[in-house]
Structure 1
Amino acid sequence: MSTSRMRAEIGEQPEALRRTLEALLPRTADIAQLARETRQVLFIARGSSDNAAVYGRYLVESHTGRLATLAAPSIATTYKRKVDLSGVLAVAISQSGKTEEIVETLDWATGNGARTVAITNGAGSPLAEAAEVALVTDAGDELAVPATKTYTTQLAALSVLGLGLGADVELDDLRAVPDEVQRLIAITESAPALPEIVEELAQVPGAVVSGRGIAFGTALELALKIKEACYLHAMGLSYADLLHGPIAVVDAQTPALLVAAEEGPTLPGTVALARRVTTAGARAYGIGGGKGLAESSSLALPGPALAEWVAPLGLIVPGQILVENLARRLGIDPDVPRGLNKVTQTD
């Protein structure tokens, strides 16, 4: 099979991230203005954008001291209930900016007193037009249905949002991301473990994908990619939730993929989980987590050498490459998963 469009777009991510950061870093002052008039953040999204929002939530709460929550759009669109959103910064995320439910929910938030930000790859889209501040990513056209470069540029926009909200982080950490993603693509594709993990996953009906904290959104996004591009059952869980019962499903036919930054407070728990999985006779595949996770896993792919707060911008990349390879191994065209369209409309 020739190179997929998904693989080509994975390779376009370093430059897409460079363009996006160049375009959005000057907007931190606009965000700071809204920050002075709000006290908490409400993220509005679906699908991959919702997984990006999970990263945004952890970033905001761990580094700005603000409460951040994920919206339930059906409260606006189906129940049509009023909620007092005074003092709230509503951040709507949609790669196309055309998902009617997300646009309607942002309009609802405005009507309930929220200040508003849009994160979208669609310049001039209905979502961008509806927000007070539009952080328009510069991923370029994305033709494959599974989001890759639009997802990582959303994370870049959320990192800029965090800076505008006063996050206690170093800007140089964010500036290092594009070059590190470029390096990571090269070393992942040459990693001896990649074809081995692909072959083992091709023999099982599904997997558990787990991470915690800043890496939790990455686990959710990787699980979604496995489901939509490879048609395998994949459960994305925080390892804290996994230990509360669902770990019982991890066995010889249900391996665990574990994702972690190379530093941070959740890394020891991820390493311990890998040991528990392998001790129980199941397979654990590590992504990131440095030497500790690699040594505790059955097989492992490298992760980004990035500070924890920006690690998810690189951490998903080995997972994207793994999924693209696995789909082709299974005889599936990863560019056009069955039953899916690039823009999804929900009631």
Structure 2
Amino acid sequence: MAREIAEQPAALARTLQSLRPQRAALNRLAGDTRAVLFVARGSSDNAAVYGRYLLEVHAGRPSGLAAPSVATHYAAELDLSGVLVVSVSQSGETQEIVETQAWAATRGARTVAVTNDGSSSLANAADLALVTEAGTEVAVPATKSYTAQLAAMAILAGGLSARTDALDADLDRVPDEVERLITARAGVDAAATQLAATNEALVSGRGLTFGTALEAALKLEETCLRPVRGLSYADLRHGPIAVVDADHVALLVTAADGPMVPGMTELAHDLRRRGAAGVVGIGGDAGFGSAVDVAVPGPELSEPIAPLALIVPAQLMVETLARKLGLDPDEPRGLSKVTQTDPSE
């Protein structure tokens, strides 16, 4: 896992270089489509959450997350004409995702596959495949394949938007920012120590960084065997925040700018007032950093592109925490690299 985290700058550079020429084809395929639906599971689903926010905020395209069981178990007869369906799978072989893409095509959708294997079933069946260049990923927890998927989401947004140049400047800086974060490891060990002190944790973010919060929570669960809730801070305030006490550590993630920073900063203050055992913050501005107990610097990237690098300190933190707990971060208990949703598959 540590080696593959370190490979991310090169993987991101390769992926961005490879996929940028696809933006024109994406624009032609999307054409006059009225909406975008993402189909994914696991880490790929968290990448899709980022894609959904980015398409709506940057490209002005109504987007949402599809429920694969609507296709695979209910075989619903939906009219998907005028819909672009984007299926996301690292392996391209998760049967549920392959079947859902095929179903969507029969219902009139145009299809895009995002996968790390250009010869996979998902890529071969799609109208257009965005093949990431992460290279073979050996560790079970997705790291470089996940950030490469985020890069594909940024390319997708550029292809479906008239404001491509608005993303390019920061995209060019992503590999170097990821390299800087990996080399510095600022705050990572202190954050892992804080999280090791208790079994109770929650993770929160909002908007364009919400997918990052969900991915950080998933990594803590699958790699460190911690029961973790990943919540939007809006949902957290609508009731679950009542459980926060001296046994809880909160992990908050936010970009360095954008409309969510003030709310995340106030949430950090609130959690400390409620007596949380600790508040760890990844990213944010100076005010956010002073509001948390352990500040882990994030990337110097604008909010729309920050998620491509913002997850990296969380990956480092999780790998460190797993080893502190005597666990093998490369092969979490009971998991495999390609997951089939239903036991019969």
With the shorter chain as reference, the TM-score category is: over 0.9
Where do 1:1-347 residues align within 5 Å? 6-166=1-161, 168=163, 169-188=166-185, 191=186, 193-282=187-276, 283-347=278-342
CA distance in 2, matches of 1:194, 1:15: 22
Deviations 1:79-117 (CA, angstroms, capped at 9, x unpaired): 111111011000000000000100000000000000010
Contact 1:12 1:149 in 2 (8 A): yes
TM-score scaled to structure 2, two decimals?
0.97
Q: How many residues align?
A: 339
Give ranges in structure 1 of 5+ residues lacking alignment.
1-5
Specify the code of the residue in structure 2 equivalent to 1:176.
Answer: R
Give ranges in structure 2 of 5+ residues lacking alignment.
none
Deviations 1:304-343 (CA, angstroms, capped at 9, x unpaired): 0001101000100000000000000000000000110000
1:167 deviates by 5.6
Contact 1:187 1:302 in 2 (8 A): no
Percent sequence identity over matched residues? 59
Where has structure 1 moved over 6 Å in runs of 4 or more? none
Specify the code of the residue in structure 2 equivalent to 1:103.
Answer: V
1:36 deviates by 1.2
CA distance in 1, matches of 2:74, 2:131: 30
1:32 deviates by 0.4
Deviations 1:169-195 (CA, angstroms, capped at 9, x unpaired): 33111111111111111122xx2x332
CA distance in 1, matches of 2:154, 2:127: 18
169-178 vs 126-135, greater mean Cα deviation: 169-178
Contact 1:290 1:303 in 2 (8 A): no
Summarize the Cα distance change of 1:167–1:313 in structure 2 as closer, same or farther, 3 Å threshold. farther
CA distance in 2, matches of 1:268, 1:227: 28
1:126 deviates by 0.2
326-335 vs 241-250, greater mean Cα deviation: 241-250
1:197 deviates by 2.1
SS of aligned partner of 2:84:
strand
Contact 2:217 2:228 in 1 (8 A): yes
Contact 1:64 1:167 in 2 (8 A): yes
CA distance in 1, matches of 2:189, 2:29: 47
Deviations 1:32-79 (CA, angstroms, capped at 9, x unpaired): 001213121000000000000000000011111111010000000011
Contact 1:95 1:120 in 2 (8 A): yes
Specify the code of the residue in structure 1 equivalent to 2:46.
Answer: N
CA distance in 1, matches of 2:183, 2:273: 32
Name the Cα RMSD after superposition: 0.9
SS of aligned partner of 1:180:
helix
